[in-house]
Amino acid sequence: MVCVSGNYNEGTCIGDSGGPLIQVVSRGQMVHTGISSFISGNGCQRGRIIGGEIARASQFPYVAAIISTDSSGSYFCGGALLNNQWILTAAQCIYGGVQFTIQLGSNKLDGTDPNRVTLATATFVIHPGYNPDTLENDVGLIRLRLPIEFNQYITAVDLPQVPLSDSATVTIMGWGQESDQNPGLVSDLQFIQLVTITNSECKLNYGGQIVDEMVCVVGQSNEGICTGDSGGPLIEYRTERAPVHVAIASFFSGNGCESVLPSGFTRTYPYVEWINSIIQG
């Protein structure tokens, strides 16, 4: 056997097995010197959030932790506070759910935090066009049982007034797992800056799955969302650095969170009219 290495995370991955290892010898002649055989049990990539930083207290006062319970057990998602009684999240996070618990005010999921507020919910609404197979219209709303009082650690985020542009610098945050090899949530809220790409570029990776109401984002190497981040807000800082909710975390590559393929989101702007009809109704 022989092992090879390169710059940061360069090497073979799933689908490369059997390929030739070539050495260029005298006068540019190429010689077959090895056969691609295996990769690390830690995966092709290492190191996505995935790739995030720990958020400061009150840095994202609108982010919500959502614990959903259905007939098969409990699962975790993110969300964003739109006003004193409504949370915006992904439809997949509440589809089939029977009970939801919301946490606001704290970046930590465990331990004690005097700023943490745990809330019961009254009802939820799933977009009528949601398709659980294709994740089209992956938008949902949760209504708190009682209005929440705003403070330094709990406040609402604005909905967009104009569409999200390509090549926009955006920020995603969540408590999802940090690698494919380490399942489970992280204790501290993570965030990372990413960049939006065109839907045409995204279709090169996901094909016809991508529709106009979706947007994909990329970072350096393999940064993006992972299990537990679904429903979380994608934020763009616009006028006077005010945060605007521009998309909802929806999906990542079937090759794993640490794949270099883009992360997928549902654009917020196409649904603003529907959202307002619910939360202002």
Residue in 174, 197, 94 with CA at minimum distance from that of residue 138? 94
Q: What are phi and psi of 84, to 5 degrees?
A: -75, 5
Mean pLDDT for the stretch of residues 207-222: 91
Confidence of residue 21 (pLDDT cuts 50, 70, 90): low
Task: Let me know if domain 64-156+272-279 sits in CATH 3.40.800.10.
Answer: no
Question: Does this chain's domain 64-156+272-279 share its CATH topology with 157-269?
Answer: yes
Mean pLDDT for the stretch of residues 88-103: 93
**The pTM is what?**
0.80
What is the model's pLDDT at position 7?
A: 32
User: Do 148 and 111 meet the contact criterion of CB atoms below 8 Å apart?
Assistant: no
* Mean pLDDT, rounded, of the chain: 84
Domain boundaries, the chain: 1-40, 64-156+272-279, 157-269
91 dihedral zone (left: phi>0; alpha: psi -120 to 50; beta): alpha
Share of the chain above pLDDT 70, in %: 80
Q: 24-40: per-residue pLDDT in tens? A: 333 334 355 566 665 44
Q: 97-107: per-residue pLDDT in tens? A: 888 999 999 99
CATH number for region 157-269: 2.40.10.10
